[in-house]
Structure 1
Amino acid sequence: MSLHPSPRVLGDPREDGRPSAWPTLKRPELPAPVPADRPRLRILDGLRILAAVLVLMHHYTRQEVWGHDAFGWLTVVGRYSWMGVELFFMISGFVICMSAWGRPLGSYLRSRVIRLGPAYWFCVLVTMGVLLAVGKPFGGSGPGLSQVLTNLTMFQTPLGSAELDLSYWTLWSELRFYLIFAAVAWTGLTYRKVLNFCWIWTVASLLAPSSGLPILNVLANPTYSPLFISGICFYLIRREGARAGEPWVLLAFSWLLMQRWLNDIVGWNTVKGDRLSWEMCLLVITLCYVVMAAVALGWLDRVAWRWLSVAGAMSYPLYLLHQQIGVTLLHKWRGNVEPWTLLLSATAVMLLASWLIQRFVERPAARGLKRFLESRPGGRAKTLRETPQ
């Protein structure tokens, strides 16, 4: 059932199929307001922390970190757990569409800066400090000042600068999604506008690889766009109900595109000593689609434990912090500590650090940044006018 049914258009057929007696008059479709008491989907928080832990497992169990297969079955699982990133992208499409609905463009853009900025800037500085103090895990000089400053912009990839932490590569995909989605959020989101946006993005993603236009390839992000589009479609199903047929069609097509791009992604994630199965990756990505479909249909709404909200908030700093610092410390101490003990200890330390960052850095910094971005210059001007000369 739709949470916010679209406004009826005069002259449209009635629900029973009989024509309306009213004359055919068109009126613009207006974005439906978001209810103030919209419940939080804690299952999404749970999926966020699951995705972050899966990515952490992939980086912490690789044979190149330990010099050998240190964990047996967990090493095998870790070879495929990098697909937590794909789940992240799908969740992002769902959440961004949900949070932008009924919100003006300025509010949408400010919310992205407030959500991403404080934790990211802090984690960049912490990573810089660790690399300068300990060094890179596999040798090489520490980060330069220009590299650190460029990473603070979050646009290091298009600027041609190396990521301070290799996990930062996903931020460029996220930022491109936020920017192009702002184009449809600018005029107000409606079911029809969002679906049209998804179809246009899909067509652009199909044309981009062979177009010879670098700008189209950059904006369309064809390799990962099906995941963001799928997340948006799952939100539309959640909002409009399971009988909304068009999002299901687009979901099926996006899944077909993803199985194609998995061939390339599997190649990028294959390193010497690893043997990745495309069929296994397809099974994992299909499982991600099934789980998100269950979220969209409300089948997992009972998974609403309060601690999931805290865990979901930790997922972002955990993702930002875990790879470069964690791999550096694992590589440094692997000869002195038993592998399972070191792995569990490093994971616990990263989880604790992520909670501390979220609780004592990100939350207060986000509140301050929100006040700063939403401040009005008129307030200062009024104060000056009212001050006696």
Structure 2
Amino acid sequence: MALFTRFPMAQVGSHRGLTPPAVAVHATSAAHSQILALDGIRGVAILLVLCYHLARSLAAEFDFVNRFHLLASFGWVGVDLFFVLSGFLITGILYDSKGHTHFFKNFYVRRALRIFPLYFSALFFLLLLRAVWPDLGLYGHASDVWLWLYLTNFVIAVHDYGAFGLMDHFWSLAIEEQFYMLWPFVVFSLSRRGAMFMALAMCIAAPLLRTAFALTQDNPAAIYVLSPMRMDSLAMGALLALAIRGGAEGMAPERLRLPAIWGGGLAVALLLLTILVTRNVSPHTLPMETYGFSLVAMAGAATIVLSMTTSLRHVFENGVLRWFGKYSYGLYVWHPILWMIIFHSDKARALRNGEGTAEMIASVLVAVLALLAFVMASWHLMESQFLKLKGRFQ
């Protein structure tokens, strides 16, 4: 996800051949500011996801929390925001390195150094957990082989949610990995304009696919987790990245400010109207499945533009948001694993010995502290060590 992508500083917000020496320092400063803002957007995305899953866990175990559950139930849009960020950041990296020596090798090795250590560490943790706690009851019924192959989303589409238990959330990582496997070839093979047409076609095709599937099949999980159904979010980010590049053919981000304000505002307004009419914030309503995901993607792309061109960037440059953005990949990978154990295992329920406010507060504290400890240890002891190797593959 965009959980784990950083933009090369000198490449954000500039166009090839359009940055004269006199403004090079200003361009670098602006790029640095935009990196901070994008980290903040990433932080907002992971906080939405954390609130969503925390509310679901608490509502399942503490009945009185259900009245507050609705407030966090729209947090699923955090994953969609990650998709838009990934499309934007990855496409920018690919386009800016197009024509460089070892284009594919450098991209895939750098992605592997960022993604694989944590991902496969979580899978080894699952193997260890099965060995020491075989009766946990949270493992799901599908073979772990699909986790190792990044095909989680296809299995969930066939067998529904719960197929992988506490690893179900890896469906979104599978979508991202499938995007990484295919999209570099599109950017490499096509011109900037051709890649933009491809991204635009994906933005149009995805809601049409979802609509056809929703009207003919009764499988909301497939609509939510299959890559062809969700490609508009990634493509929306990709389209934006290509639009602001290309030298004289490209558009300065400032020229997109007004379209972003109107387009993003319209998308948010239609989403709110949809929620008011359906009285449901679930991603599994027909309006959300057909056009709602595309509206979320539009709002996400608009947020990226506005974070680069307006004072909104100061909101996303907030240190707390950027901190969560920095650790967002680890937070995403570990939080359902740890929280399902803490909230839903039989031993945890026995230890709580009640469903009152005190038990809930204690459970939340344990859940949050355990997550932060895992994530920070993972970053400092493992992830950052692998990231030091990325400089060899520029």
Same fold (TM over 0.5): yes
Could you say what secondary structure the match of 1:223 adopts? helix
Deviations along 1:111-130, one digit per CA (max 9) or x if unpaired, are 22222111111122224434
Return the index of the structure with the highest Cα Rg: 1
Matched residue, 1:69: 64
Matched residue, 1:382: none
Deviations along 1:91-123, one digit per CA (max 9) or x if unpaired, are 112211222222123322222222211111112
* Cα drift, residue 286 of structure 1: 7.0
Matched residue, 2:109: 110
* Cα drift, residue 69 of structure 1: 3.0
Q: Does residue 230 of the first structure (1) align with residue 240 of the second (2)?
A: no
* Cα drift, residue 231 of structure 1: 1.9
* Cα drift, residue 83 of structure 1: 1.8
- For residues 187 and 170 of structure 1, the distance between their equivalents in structure 2, rounded to whole angstroms, comes to 26
* Cα drift, residue 134 of structure 1: 4.2
More helix by share: 2
Q: Does residue 90 of the first structure (1) align with residue 111 of the second (2)?
A: no
* Cα drift, residue 326 of structure 1: 0.9
List alignment gaps of at least 5 residues for structure 2. 1-11, 19-26, 98-102, 217-222, 246-250
* Cα drift, residue 71 of structure 1: 6.8
Q: Give the AA of the match of 1:109.
A: Y
- For residues 188 and 61 of structure 1, the distance between their equivalents in structure 2, rounded to whole angstroms, comes to 44
What is the correspondence of 1:9-24 to structure 2 with a 5 Å cutoff? none
On the 8 A contact 2:224/2:230 being kept in 1, the answer is no
Matched residue, 1:54: 48
For the aligned residue pairs, the C-alpha RMSD in angstroms reads 4.7
Q: Does residue 361 of the first structure (1) align with residue 382 of the second (2)?
A: yes
Matched residue, 2:341: 328
Matched residue, 2:369: 348
Could you say what secondary structure the match of 1:154 adopts? coil
* Cα drift, residue 65 of structure 1: 2.9
* Cα drift, residue 318 of structure 1: 1.0
- For residues 386 and 40 of structure 2, the distance between their equivalents in structure 1, rounded to whole angstroms, comes to 24
- For residues 55 and 225 of structure 2, the distance between their equivalents in structure 1, rounded to whole angstroms, comes to 34
* Cα drift, residue 354 of structure 1: 0.9
- For residues 328 and 16 of structure 2, the distance between their equivalents in structure 1, rounded to whole angstroms, comes to 33
On the 8 A contact 1:90/1:228 being kept in 2, the answer is yes
Q: Structure 1 residues 284 and 5, CA, compared in 2 at 3 Å: closer, same or farther?
A: closer
Deviations along 1:306-331, one digit per CA (max 9) or x if unpaired, are 67655323111111111132122122
Q: Structure 1 residues 107 and 309, CA, compared in 2 at 3 Å: closer, same or farther?
A: farther
Could you say what secondary structure the match of 2:365 adopts? helix
Matched residue, 2:173: 171
Q: Structure 1 residues 247 and 94, CA, compared in 2 at 3 Å: closer, same or farther?
A: farther
List alignment gaps of at least 5 residues for structure 1. 8-34, 271-275, 375-389
- Relative to the length of structure 1, the TM-score reads 0.66
Could you say what secondary structure the match of 1:243 adopts? helix
Could you say what secondary structure the match of 1:69 adopts? helix
- For residues 127 and 308 of structure 2, the distance between their equivalents in structure 1, rounded to whole angstroms, comes to 40
Deviations along 1:60-93, one digit per CA (max 9) or x if unpaired, are 22255315133743x2222221221111111112
Q: Structure 1 residues 181 and 255, CA, compared in 2 at 3 Å: closer, same or farther?
A: farther
Matched residue, 2:220: none
Report how many residues are paired: 328
Paired-residue identity, %: 20
Q: Structure 1 residues 326 and 107, CA, compared in 2 at 3 Å: closer, same or farther?
A: same
